[in-house]
């Protein structure tokens, strides 16, 4: 991961809901279960979470309904005040910020997209996208120019004067994304933005989202309950249950080495060969012979090589330099689904 300080740093964070959460928090220990806390009349929305988000990273937070993923992200932006622990953004403790500075931080650095599009029905696409700039007090010409830029960026050029009711669900979601991008945020929070879309449009929006991220290199926290979506989008995945993070790691490591039984159940139906890359199986210091394979190639895409190539170890390269080698037998085990 990046050697730079994290953009968001979350240390031992609790968010307790109940009659007197601050007093109850003093009695808490990490060993107390979700059920122990509920028996005392409280709910642990977030339970002793420590996690960092790095510059340019896409961290996907996933879990079932009620797992705490949306609550955690609302803590990141202080839409929820936390009960215990610390959260810093660019090195600043957001819990200590006065309201005026907190509002400015959100306006200048954070973009948010939610499942419900929240478009203003009586404003056009362009007016919806320009709305946060209007709230900033920017003049009409400046905000129109910026709105036109991001409308083009999300592929809605030619529909600037349409009203939301004249757009498909996928197009409405693009307007929501464009509106959040208009303020040029460094940090982008997306809470299940595609879950209301049908599967085909959802896939198209994922493609569009990956294209935008490749262009813009934002720091992104993306919430989903769909493991396939998480695997497709994430640099790292944090899997939550009962307010706690069960595991946070790269997609291939979560699939290869689930930390808990709960995580294992999430991964058991996944085609590991589609997720695991040559780089994930590569061992430093191990030598192979012959032409190397690229570290980012999935084991599934290497199937023909693995079946027909008789080398015991195959060199793995990154950016043209060999970084190690993978054991062909290990790769075949992943390909064939052997445990």
Give the 3-state secondary structure of 117-153.
CCCCCCCCHHHHHHHHHHHHCCCHHHHHHHHHHHHHH
Query: Is the backbone of residue 63 left (phi > 0), alpha (psi -120 to 50) or beta?
Result: left
Are residue 76 and residue 122 in the same domain, yes or no?
yes
pLDDT digits (tens, 9 = 90+) for 318-335: 998 999 999 999 999 999
pLDDT digits (tens, 9 = 90+) for 54-80: 999 999 999 988 999 999 999 999 999
pLDDT higher than 70, residue 2: no
pLDDT higher than 60, residue 1: no
Query: How does 20-57 read in b/e, with b if 16+ C-beta sit within 10 Å?
Result: ebeebbeebeeeeeeeebeeeebbbbbbbbebbbbbbb
Indicate whether 168 belongs to any domain.
Answer: yes
pTM for this entry: 0.87
Cα-based distances in Å from 121 to 63, 188, 192: 32, 24, 21
Residue where a domain stops, chosen among 213, 239, 269: 269
Are residue 247 and residue 259 in the same domain, yes or no?
yes
**Domain enclosing residue 312, as ranges:** 273-336
Token duo for residue 29: 């220990």
Residue where a domain stops, chosen among 269, 303, 322: 269
Indicate whether 17 belongs to any domain.
Answer: no
Indicate whether 26 belongs to any domain.
Answer: no
Cβ atoms within 10 Å, residue 186: 16
Indicate whether 234 belongs to any domain.
Answer: yes
Are residue 282 and residue 264 in the same domain, yes or no?
no
The CATH number covering residue 296 comes to 3.10.580.10
């Amino acid at each position: 991961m990046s050697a730079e300080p994290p953009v968001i740093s979350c240390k031992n964070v609790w968010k307790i809901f109940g009659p007197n959460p601050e007093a109850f928090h003093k009695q808490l220990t990490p060993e107390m279960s979700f059920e122990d806390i509920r028996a005392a009349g409280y709910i642990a929305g977030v339970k002793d979470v420590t996690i960092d988000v790095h510059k340019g990273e896409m961290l996907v937070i996933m879990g079932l309904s009620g797992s705490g993923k949306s609550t955690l992200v609302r803590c990141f932006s202080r839409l929820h005040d936390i009960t215990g622990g610390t959260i810093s953004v660019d090195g600043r403790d957001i819990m200590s910020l006065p309201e005026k500075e907190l509002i400015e931080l959100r306006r200048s650095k954070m973009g948010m997209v939610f499942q419900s599009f929240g478009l203003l029905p009586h404003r056009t696409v362009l007016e919806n996208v320009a709305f946060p700039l209007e709230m900033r007090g920017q003049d009409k010409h400046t905000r129109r120019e910026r709105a036109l830029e991001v409308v083009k960026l999300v592929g809605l050029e030619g529909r600037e004067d349409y009203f939301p009711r004249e757009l498909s669900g996928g197009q409405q979601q693009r307007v929501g994304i464009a509106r959040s991008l208009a303020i040029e945020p460094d940090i982008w929070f997306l809470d299940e933005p595609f879950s209301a879309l049908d599967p085909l449009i959802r896939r198209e929006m994922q493609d569009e989202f990956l294209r935008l991220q490749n262009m813009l290199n934002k720091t992104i926290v993306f919430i989903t309950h769909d493991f396939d979506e998480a695997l497709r989008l994430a640099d790292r995945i944090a899997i939550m249950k009962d307010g706690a993070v069960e595991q946070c790691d790269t997609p291939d490591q979560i699939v290869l080495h689930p930390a808990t039984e709960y995580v294992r159940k999430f991964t058991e139906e996944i085609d590991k060969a589609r997720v695991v890359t040559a780089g994930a199986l590569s061992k430093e210091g191990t030598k192979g012979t012959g032409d190397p394979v690229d570290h980012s190639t999935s084991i599934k895409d290497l199937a023909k090589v693995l079946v027909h190539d008789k080398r015991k170890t195959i060199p793995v390269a990154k950016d043209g330099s060999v970084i190690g080698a993978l054991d062909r037998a290990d790769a075949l085990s992943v390909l064939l689904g052997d445990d």
